Structure 1
Amino acid sequence: MSGLHERHLAVSPEWLALYYRHPIELTHGEGRHVWDADGNRYLDFFGGILTTMTAHALPEVTKAVAEQAGRIIHSSTLYLNRPMVEMAERIATLSGIPDARVFFTTSGTEANDTALLLATAYRRSNQILAMRNSYHGRSFSTVSITGNQAWSPTSLSPLQTLYVHGGVRTRGPYAALSDEAFIRACVADLEDLLGHTRNPAALIAEPMQGVGGFTSPPDGLFAAFREVLDRHGVLWISDEVQTGWGRTGDHFWGWQAHAGNGPPDILTFAKGIGNGMSVGGVVARAEVMNCLDANSISTFGGSPITMAASLANLSYLLEHDLQGNARRVGGLLIERLRSVAAASPAVREVRGRGLMIGIELAKPGTDEADPEAAAAVLEAARAGGLLIGKGGGHNTSVLRIAPPLTLTVAEAEEGAAILADALHAAG
């Protein structure tokens, strides 16, 4: 055990998880690579949990941060803030939400917390509909709407949460149905649930479940849900903390795969837009955003330095068509991984879109989750020079692959080859 690891254990909560049997300290990065304190170089296929979205040490972002730090780092929302206004203007337009208002936070948890505040105040209800296997953050309110038991440490809640089918396509009672029949069954379940509730405020849903193992419903499910929700006056919150900014390749926002009835009422974002800076936020139409009848500010949300970083990062992302790169390189990577998986009896499914890919492991010949195998592959990949993540609603048996969106074809091939070796080494 390293000295830093011992010091970490002495002052940190027991529930603050670390990857690997022998945890590593990352000291610097460049492009799609990072280095640890021992000088080992790794290809980064996780980006600090989908947060280093563009690249490590991206010159455009580091320059913007340094220049802003030389002017003013902090002021709070009590003062006019030019970078925050400029960023809000760009996000309002990109969101697709009419007459949009934007509120910045410091994390996805805080963004979802704010969305819940808005929805419950607007609808005057503390009932929330959420998806099974979902994850929305670690605050008291967001834990209470998280449908993944491994990440929900308490049943106490300020909200009454009811869980809906549909987030996981290949498990559960509807798994054997066709996509069309799956959607019909999930809609019928939602209709039935609403018949037994008083006045739900909102449905919150990730277009592709992140911590849940990169699972997703068939395209169009949330559009079908929206028709039902609109009849009951229930708001739709799209949690885009992991799916936003073009990561899925096919769309800029995950909700656009379900765009039959237009954009969500509320959209939340975080992680990648700051390329490592602490940025989150909420977008909602003015009627919803302005429903609060008490004062509120944010001390750190929308700070000049994080907004400068986000503006530079967003400009780079759009100017270099990183959504298109995610679609092209991600498409190649997922096909390569499916080819790799065909030779491994431990792989139950390879799924995802763009540069958001999950490899679900199960005990060979069964659907039984195999978290031990996932842990072994994580270790073997690290030994081979590749960093990946883990997740899943079935005992953390899904390998999560989400490289920076500037990933090259050569790096995708290199990472797939390391994963092939790791799967083989892990049995």
Structure 2
Amino acid sequence: MTELYRRHRAVTPAWLATYYEEPIELTHGEGRHVWDSQGRRYLDFFGGILTTMTAHALPEVTKAVAEQAGRILHTSTLYLSSPMVELAEQIAELSGIPDAKVFFTTSGTEANDTALLLATSYRSSNQVLAMRNSYHGRSFTTVGITGNSSWSPTSLSPLQTLYVHGGVRTRGPFAHLSDADFIAACTADLEDLLGQAGGRIAALIAEPVQGVGGFTSGPDGLFASFKRVLDRHGILWISDEVQTGWGRTGDHFWGWQAHAEAGPPDLLTFAKGIGNGLSMGGVVARTEVMDCLGANSISTFGGSPITTAGALANLRHLLDHDLQGNARRVGALLTERLRAADLPVVREVRGRGLMIGVELVDRAGEPSAPAATATLEHARALGVLIGKGGLAGNVLRIAPPLSLTTAEATEGADLLVEALRRAQDELPASTPAP
């Protein structure tokens, strides 16, 4: 145990997870690479949990932050801010939500909290629909709508939550169905659930691609089918774009656009990538929903001059360099190279763009968290940092900055395949059935 890790363990909660048997300290980064305190360089294929969206030490962002820091760091929403207004204008236009307004927060958790406050106030109801296997944050409110027991430490909640099928395509009672029949079955389940719920439902909150859940999703069009049902009941749709937003999926700028036949969501939450490491989140909603609160409210840190200045520079870089298109092209290459390895330890390689999940199993075909843990360790030793998730903790999460080059994708894929081979070789032999 390093001295820094010993000190960390002494003063932080036992439940504050760190990666690796011997956790590392990252001291600096550039582009798609980071360095640890021992001087070791790594390809960063996780980006601080999908947060370093464009690149480490992106010159435009560091310049914007430095210049703003030299003027003023903080004011609060009690005062006007040009960077905040300009960023809000751009996000409102990009959101696809008509007559949109934007409220900035400091994290995705807080963004989802705000969306739930708006939806429950607008609908005068504390009943919420959420997806099974979902994750929406670590606050008391968002834990109460998280359908993944690994990340939900209490059943207590200010909300009454009902969980809907559809977040996982390849497991569960509808996995054997065609895409069209899967959507029909999940929609019928939603209709049945609404028929049994007492009172009004405020909203459905859903990730277009479940992040912590292991980069799982239903078929394209699932939430369009859901929205037609929701609209008949006046129920709002909140699209949690904290991990899927800003072009990461390649095919679309927002995850909800894969389900666009029924129109945009009523509310959209965002965070992570827009700040490129700066602490930023927010909610977009149509005006009548955003303005529904009957009490005063401000944000001390949300939309601060320094975070919005950095986020503006980051967003401009993303759009000017078509990083969404790069995510689509390079992500397809990375996905195909991982699939081509055809290793027994890999049950499925899934995802979109630069949001790739690799589900691992043991020799009997059962979910294997040890295989995921071992792969993380081997990948680190080979010089690649990745994440993991899934309900059973058996899914590798791969989400590099969207500026990843073809050469870096090829190098990283080769190293990950080698890490998977090493983890596979370490799996215990399967026990014959009695």
TM-score (norm 2): 0.97
2:397 aligned partner, one-letter code: R
CA distance, structure 2, for counterparts of residue 248 and residue 350 of structure 1: 15
Deviations along 1:61-117, whole A, 9 cap, x unmatched?
Answer: 000000000001100000001100000000000001011000000000000000000
Residue 378 of structure 1 corresponds to which residue in structure 2? 376
CA distance, structure 1, for counterparts of residue 121 and residue 229 of structure 2: 21
Residue 431 of structure 2 corresponds to which residue in structure 1? none
Deviations along 1:162-184, whole A, 9 cap, x unmatched?
Answer: 00000000000000000000000
CA distance, structure 2, for counterparts of residue 90 and residue 217 of structure 1: 29
Q: Does 1:417 align with 2:418?
A: no
Residue 236 of structure 1 corresponds to which residue in structure 2? 237
2:394 aligned partner, one-letter code: S
**Secondary structure at 1:195 match in 2:** helix
Residue 162 of structure 1 corresponds to which residue in structure 2? 162
Residue 12 of structure 2 corresponds to which residue in structure 1? 12
CA distance, structure 2, for counterparts of residue 204 and residue 356 of structure 1: 20
CA distance, structure 2, for counterparts of residue 266 and residue 57 of structure 1: 32
After superposition, where does 1:308-327 map in structure 2 within 5 Å?
308-327=309-328
CA distance, structure 2, for counterparts of residue 43 and residue 234 of structure 1: 43
CA distance, structure 1, for counterparts of residue 102 and residue 420 of structure 2: 44
Residue 267 of structure 2 corresponds to which residue in structure 1? 266
2:132 aligned partner, one-letter code: R
TM superposition shift of 1:426 = 1.1
**Which of these residues, 390, 400, 421, is aligned with residue 392 of structure 1?**
390
Residue 356 of structure 1 corresponds to which residue in structure 2? 355
The question of whether the paired residues in 2 share the 8 Å contact of 1:271 and 1:279 is answered with yes
Residue 367 of structure 2 corresponds to which residue in structure 1? 369
Residue 345 of structure 1 corresponds to which residue in structure 2? 344
CA distance, structure 1, for counterparts of residue 277 and residue 413 of structure 2: 25
Residue 427 of structure 2 corresponds to which residue in structure 1? none
CA distance, structure 2, for counterparts of residue 178 and residue 97 of structure 1: 31
Residue 27 of structure 2 corresponds to which residue in structure 1? 27
Deviations along 1:122-165, whole A, 9 cap, x unmatched?
Answer: 00000000000000000100000000000000000000000000
Residue 113 of structure 2 corresponds to which residue in structure 1? 113
Residue 428 of structure 2 corresponds to which residue in structure 1? none
The question of whether the paired residues in 2 share the 8 Å contact of 1:84 and 1:307 is answered with yes
CA distance, structure 1, for counterparts of residue 213 and residue 423 of structure 2: 22
CA distance, structure 2, for counterparts of residue 425 and residue 100 of structure 1: 50
Task: Percent identity, please.
Answer: 78
**Secondary structure at 1:34 match in 2:** strand
CA distance, structure 2, for counterparts of residue 332 and residue 347 of structure 1: 18
2:233 aligned partner, one-letter code: H
Which contiguous aligned blocks of 4+ residues in structure 1 show a shift greater than 2 angstroms?
A: none
**Secondary structure at 1:425 match in 2:** helix
2:78 aligned partner, one-letter code: L
TM superposition shift of 1:21 = 0.1
Segment drifting more, 356-365 vs 323-332: 356-365
CA distance, structure 1, for counterparts of residue 143 and residue 364 of structure 2: 34
TM superposition shift of 1:363 = 1.5
CA distance, structure 1, for counterparts of residue 378 and residue 65 of structure 2: 36
Residue 52 of structure 1 corresponds to which residue in structure 2? 52
TM superposition shift of 1:347 = 0.6
**Secondary structure at 2:269 match in 1:** strand
Q: Does 1:286 align with 2:303?
A: no
Residue 401 of structure 1 corresponds to which residue in structure 2? 398
1:385 aligned partner, one-letter code: G
**Secondary structure at 2:196 match in 1:** coil
Deviations along 1:23-45, whole A, 9 cap, x unmatched?
Answer: 00000000000000000000000
TM superposition shift of 1:365 = 4.2
1:392 aligned partner, one-letter code: G
CA distance, structure 2, for counterparts of residue 314 and residue 382 of structure 1: 30
Q: Structure 2: 5+ residue runs without aligned partners?
A: 425-434
CA distance, structure 2, for counterparts of residue 365 and residue 414 of structure 1: 30
TM superposition shift of 1:336 = 0.7
TM superposition shift of 1:364 = 2.6
Deviations along 1:201-237, whole A, 9 cap, x unmatched?
Answer: 0000000000000001000000000000000110000
RMSD: 0.5
Q: Structure 1: 5+ residue runs without aligned partners?
A: none
1:110 aligned partner, one-letter code: E
TM-score (norm 1): 0.99
Aligned residues: 423
Deviations along 1:229-254, whole A, 9 cap, x unmatched?
Answer: 00011000000000000000000000
Residue 128 of structure 2 corresponds to which residue in structure 1? 128
The question of whether the paired residues in 2 share the 8 Å contact of 1:132 and 1:166 is answered with yes
CA distance, structure 2, for counterparts of residue 271 and residue 52 of structure 1: 8
TM superposition shift of 1:261 = 1.2
1:213 aligned partner, one-letter code: G
CA distance, structure 2, for counterparts of residue 220 and residue 147 of structure 1: 21
CA distance, structure 2, for counterparts of residue 46 and residue 249 of structure 1: 16
CA distance, structure 1, for counterparts of residue 353 and residue 126 of structure 2: 35
1:37 aligned partner, one-letter code: S
CA distance, structure 1, for counterparts of residue 237 and residue 367 of structure 2: 32
The question of whether the paired residues in 2 share the 8 Å contact of 1:345 and 1:365 is answered with no
1:383 aligned partner, one-letter code: A
CA distance, structure 2, for counterparts of residue 405 and residue 313 of structure 1: 12
Residue 141 of structure 1 corresponds to which residue in structure 2? 141
1:61 aligned partner, one-letter code: V
